[in-house]
Structure formats: C-alpha cells, structure tokens
C-alpha cells in the first residue's frame, strides 16, 4: 500500500510544484515506484517541470469523468523507469474534480505505487482540500518570509480539520520544508530565521532548500531539480528530504554562504 503525500502551502509561488517533482524523482531514484499527481486543474504546471508536456493525451479529469482509463493517462518519466505523472487538465476548472472521482483514482494509484505525491494548487479552496484529502504525510512548503509563514499556518489548521485522517480522529504527519532559503540574506538578518519559522509553525523540519539558480535552470529544462545536477545544493537538499521521508536519519545541513574556504582563511582582519 502506498504512502500518500500532499505537497501544500496555501501561498502560491513558494515551490510546491518544484518540490513535488524533486521529491518524486528523488524517491524514484532509490528504486521506489512513484506517481506525482497534478491537482492544479486549470493552471497545470507539473507536466512542464517534469518535461512531459509534449506527451499529454489524457488527464486526471478525463479519468474521473470516465473518458479514459487510468493507465492511459499516466505518463512514464523518460529518465526514471519507476516515476509516473498524472497530469491535470488545463481547460477545465476545479469543479471538474469530484470527491468520489478523486477517491477512486487515488485508491487505484495507492494499489500500484509505493508513493503517491499530490501537488496541491495554491489557495485553500476545493482544489487544495481535495489534494490533501487522502494525505498521510503533508509537506508544508514555506519560504522564510512572513506572508508565506502565515499562509502555511493556515494550511496546517486545514490539514488538521479537512482531511480523511482528521475525520477519523487521526492526525496527518506534517513536515516543514523550507525553500528559497538564502544564506546571504539570512546572514544579513533580513530574512526570517529557520528557528523563528519552526517556532511559529511548530512542525518537524523535513529539509531546507537553498535559493539557487539551479532550480530555475532545471525547471526551464523540464528536469526535476533533484536529478538535474544531482550534486548541486538544492538537489542534495531534496535527496536528503526524500530519504528522511523513507525514515532514514539524515543530519540536517544548514545551507551556508559560498566561498567557505576564503572566508575561513581571511576571517580576521588584524
């Protein structure tokens, strides 16, 4: 039976889709069978980030409405054999997703995959609540700035109220993923500190992904950042996060300012 993950945030543009693709690819790289599901009906992007936009024929809404069978809509990744994408529809709106339809599709996916990763749309409306409905684990993607933290706090509240687990009186396992963390700005003090974010949201930390040009480069090329340049800082952060999801105990590494050697050599002006 699969572990069902929702990648959510409330606020837009914080890195949900990037995270979905990167964590999905990182998990698939370990050999697990992974499907990433785009819930952002009407504003789909996951297919672009995954580099699969040229192969979309059927989508999530087609499957829900019975126009296509699930295997017809699943797109296999070209780089990783065990990674699949269920794309969203661009031409419908979020009302095309029904509770029963989502239940059925997620139920089917859970039978065949080790991980089902749901990429939530921004906001707290229907699309977002449907994306979190089946979650066992929620990755709350947050940028170290006040508006993002407040929206994440709101989404955590919703995770505790509107998921199937909440309805059963259980709690969703919520993890904080801090993205677009800028060590230079953090050092200058014009960004929320990691400790502050952790204190406000009081969630266990899944990882810290540094702000990096590598992320944008990978997105533009349609390659999940965790496998684009596997040794880049954001790629390693996502790989570690994936391993933590698998239950491994990996020490948290705070992204540091570049040029460590020089700053060490010339630390003190005499």
Q: Which residues of 112-121 are buried (b: 16+ CB within 10 A; e: fewer)?
A: ebbbbbbbbb
- Per rule CB under 8 A, is residue 44 in the interface with another protein? yes
* Near another protein by CB under 8 A: residue from 65, 72, 91, 202: 91
Q: Which residues lie below 8 Å from residue 81, measured CB to CB, with a gap of 6+?
A: none
User: Residue from 12, 30, 43, 185 that binds another protein (CB under 8 A)?
Assistant: 43
Among 12, 30, 33, 42, binds another protein (CB under 8 A): 42
Using CB under 8 A, pick the residue from 57, 146, 184, 252 that binds another protein: 57
Is 34 annotated as ligand-binding?
no
Q: How many residues lie near another protein (CB under 8 A)? A: 10
Sheet with strand 115-119: strands edge to edge: 75-76, 83-86, 34-38, 115-119, 3-8, 137-142, 173-181, 205-210
Backbone torsions φ then ψ of 239, nearest 5 degrees: -60, -40
> Does 166 interact with another protein (rule: CB under 8 A)?
no
Figure out which of the listed residues 55, 69, 256, 258 binds another protein, where binding follows CB under 8 A: 55
Cα separation, 240 vs 206, in Å, equals: 9
In this chain, which stretch among 19-27, 41-49, 146-154, 160-168 interacts with another protein, using CB under 8 A?
A: 41-49
How far does Cα 225 stand from its chain's mean position?
12
Q: What does the binding site for another protein look like in residue numbers (CB under 8 A)?
A: 42-44, 53-57, 90-91
Q: Report the binding-site residues.
A: 11-18
Q: Which residues are annotated as a binding site for ATP?
A: 11-18
């Amino acid at each position: 039976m699969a572990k069902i993950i929702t990648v959510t945030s409330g606020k837009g543009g914080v890195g949900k889709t990037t995270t979905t693709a990167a964590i999905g690819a990182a998990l698939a790289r370990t050999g697990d069978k992974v499907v990433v599901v785009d819930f952002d009906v009407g504003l789909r992007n996951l297919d672009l980030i995954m580099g699969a936009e040229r192969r979309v024929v059927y989508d999530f809404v087609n499957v829900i409405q019975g126009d296509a069978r699930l295997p017809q809509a699943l797109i296999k990744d070209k780089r990783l054999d065990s990674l699949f994408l269920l794309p969203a529809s661009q031409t419908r709106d979020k009302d095309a997703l029904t509770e029963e339809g989502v239940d059925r599709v997620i139920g089917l996916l859970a039978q065949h995959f080790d991980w089902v990763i749901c990429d939530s749309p921004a906001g707290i409306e229907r699309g977002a609540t449907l994306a979190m409905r089946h979650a066992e684990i929620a990755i709350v993607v947050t940028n170290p700035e006040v508006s993002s933290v407040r929206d994440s706090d709101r989404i955590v509240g919703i995770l505790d109220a509107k998921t199937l687990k909440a309805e059963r009186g259980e709690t969703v396992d919520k993890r904080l993923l801090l993205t677009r963390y800028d060590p230079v700005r953090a050092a200058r003090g014009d960004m929320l500190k990691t400790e502050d974010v952790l204190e406000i949201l009081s969630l266990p930390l899944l990882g810290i992904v540094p702000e990096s040009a590598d992320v944008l480069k990978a997105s533009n090329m349609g390659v999940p950042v965790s496998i684009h340049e596997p040794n880049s800082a954001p790629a390693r952060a996502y790989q570690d996060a994936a391993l933590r999801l698998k239950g491994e105990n990996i020490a948290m590494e705070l992204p540091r300012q570049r040029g460590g050697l020089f700053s060490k050599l010339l630390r003190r002006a005499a």
